[in-house]
Amino acid sequence: MKMLINGKWVGRRKKIEVRDPWNNRLIDTVPAASRADAAAAVATAVEGFEISKRMTVYDRAQILFKAARIIQDDLEGFARTIAREGSKTIKEARKEARRCTNTLTCSAEEAKRILGETIPFDSFPGGEKRVGYYYRFPVGVVLAITPFNDPLNLVAHKLGPAIAAGNAVVCKPATVTPLSALKLAEALLEAGLPPKVLSVITGYGGAIGDALVQDPRVRMISFTGGTEAGERIARLAGIKKMGMELGSNSPVIVLDDVDLDAAAESCVSGAFWACGQNCIGVQRIYIQKRVYKKFLDKFVALTKKYKVGPKLDEDCDMGPMISEGEAKRVEAWIKEAVAKGARIACGGRRKGTVVQPTVLTDVPITATIHHQEVFGPVVNLYPVSTLDEAIAKANSVNYGLHAAIFTNDVNKAFKAAYELDCGGVMINDSTDYRLDSMPFGGVKYSGLGREGLKFSLQEMTEPKVVSFYLPDWRR
């Protein structure tokens, strides 16, 4: 496939291979962009912003509505692209494609709700002869840097609100999964988006990342990825707006008053969805001691039933990790934890890019897999005595994106909701739940700002005050 710059699909002699991580088969190639391409993409977006900021709300919304319909009409094609270039099974990929249509539809709806307010200037002496209001205007050029684990919907989460708000966008998709983003761009152009409003530039981050991030013409960076990369972007970016969804290490609390079968089933799904390469995936589970053994047995039994295999098989539950390097990293973290005293309840093996769904117990707090984001199919189980102990341990790491609690006691649910230090608390559900229209983001090292379509629109716009001095007003 070609990349989209200056309203044109362009190729380059130097190419990047896109390979299926399951069998390493070549799927397609994309251009390896240069720093000159990065500068051209931003220059195009500057021109595109002059177009997008003058588009009516109706026109922006209609483009997004139509793009959603285009994707819906080719849902299986989008799903197969997601599954082939990434780690998701075909069933997981279909869900992501469906979510993308919802993301674009909600973005279109939210375009009509970018509201301002009148300002009571006469609320302070001296303002009696003034009336006015504020409205929100687009920030300008938005740089969207997206990850591999949701190669379609997380792109839509940035492009949808940016376009709805009247911005122009330069999108840099993950190097290993660029095809879904390019396919989304095709849908947006087919829906009537003016070509210069969106560029999708493919290439290695090391070659073009700094040029894009440091360009002063970029007025906002919307980044989803690792914490280290986020810190580097923050250092390089200069004075511009930033929204960042970074790492996580999501905890779940299971109290002794719940249906353990339902809790185990929910947590297994939350731990191994997309091969655990999921920013809100379950990583640590704190279970009250009275039911710890029962829960562990149920959790392990369900995990052992997981079928790992070719992603396009309809009965496949989990696919490979995105690369063998990532699989080796997870394997090394497991071995380190075991060397420090952890026990493998099931899994723990790697072959190529495949890491078996793994359950660990007795994991010491010094183990990397305890306090860092594993981003792989590994979950740690810990016994606790009380809810207070569970909350304290849940809050003990440097991340705070999602947390969850299973309990039938509404008082304990509210206590956890207010005391867990994170951006979202799921009650009687795993951490792996997200409605695309809810505010989404974290605290501590988990990020800056909030995504979720209404909230992204707030981030991607600025308020402007308009004040009228009327000397004949209120004589």
Q: Look at strands 343-346 and 350-351 and give their pairing.
A: unpaired
Whether the CB-CB separation of 30 and 178 falls below 8 Å is answered with yes
Sign of the torsion angle spanned by Cα atoms 106, 225, 250, 416: negative
Report how far apart, in Å, the C-alpha atoms of 191 and of each of 10, 67, 208, 217, 290 are: 20, 5, 29, 27, 57
Length of the chain: 475
CA atoms of 49 and 37, how far apart (whole Å): 18
Could you list the active site residues?
A: 245, 279
* Burial profile 168-182: b = 16 or more Cβ within 10 angstroms, e = fewer: bbbbbbbbbbbbbbb
**Class of residue 98 by CB neighbours under 10 A (exposed 0-12, middle 13-18, buried 19+):** middle
**Residue that the structure tokens 């290695």 belong to:** 204
Nearest alpha-carbon partner for 6 in 33, 29, 25? 33
What residue ranges in 81-140 does DSSP mark as E strands? 117-118, 130-138
